[in-house]
Amino acid sequence: MNTKQKMTLLLLLIAVSACATVVSLPDSKESIASIKASFADKGIAKMDRLDQSELQKTCSDYAQKELPAEIRAQLEKAATDSVKYPASGKYLGDWKEGEKVAQNGRGLQFSDDSKTVNGGNCYACHQISKEEIAYGNIGPSLAQYGKLRGGPSEEIVKYTWSKIYSSHAFNACSVMPRYGAAGILSEKQMQDVMALLLDPQSPINK
């Protein structure tokens, strides 16, 4: 190694050790304080939205490590027990209305008011109808959802209702909104979205 190469190596080592000492990750208290400092109440969106539920706290604690099976089972059981099934026994509404709910991303935003009817914004995360080409892929494709599952059997209907009502029932730390448990969609809107996914007449099952 000549002197120039030695100097380059030395500078590189200094740079690497400097990085190692400067970078230290904030703990959860510091992270929360810094997130809170970046937001303010605006319209209907208030700061209490940043307060985590016990489930969310647990999921944050385990964000970088495996959630122990026992805790996972407890969280999923609590979510399953919270699911309210329609008293009428009717699970499938009108798929045309369901498509509108799935398309609608309004509601609960700072620019909405408390009278705005919430949408489901399902396309933000899922492919559903093949006519809609703008969709996100955080969640799996729901195209042909009912057809691929052999139609609306009681088991599939109850599973789908529970998943939409409280996504944590089947995946403790799911990022999907809890449409029933968090009061985002009404029972009627959920029945309509269910029809979009499961009614054999729904174009997504053709």
Q: What's the closest the beta carbon of residue 148 comes to ligand HEC, in angstroms?
A: 9
The residues pairing with 45 across neighbouring beta strands, listed in sequence order, are: 42
Q: Which is nearer to ligand HEC, 74 or 139 (CB)?
A: 139
The nearest distance, CB 120 to ligand HEC, in angstroms, is 3
Task: For ligand HEC, give the closer residue by CB, 6 or 84.
Answer: 84
In sequence order, the 6+-apart residues with CB closer than 8 A to the CB of 179 are 120, 164, 165, 185, 189, 190, 193
Tokens of 135: 């969709």
DSSP class of residue 45 equals: B
Compute φ and ψ for 147, nearest 5 degrees.
-60, -45
- Which residue, 83 or 176, is less far from ligand HEC as judged by CB? 176
CA distances from 89 to 85, 92, 93, 158, 199 (A): 7, 9, 11, 11, 16
Q: Which residues bind ligand HEC (CB under 6 A)?
A: 102, 120-122, 124-126, 138-140, 142, 160, 163-164, 167, 171, 174-177, 179, 193
Minimum CB separation from ligand HEC for residue 24, in Å?
31
User: What is the distance between the alpha carbons of residues 107 and 144, in angstroms, rounded to a whole number?
Assistant: 27
Minimal distance, residue 198 CB to ligand HEC, in Å: 9
Q: Which is nearer to ligand HEC, 35 or 175 (CB)?
A: 175
Minimum distance of ligand HEC from residue 188's CB (angstroms): 13
Q: Which is nearer to ligand HEC, 44 or 100 (CB)?
A: 100
Give the residue from 117, 98, 87 showing the smallest Cα distance to 184: 117
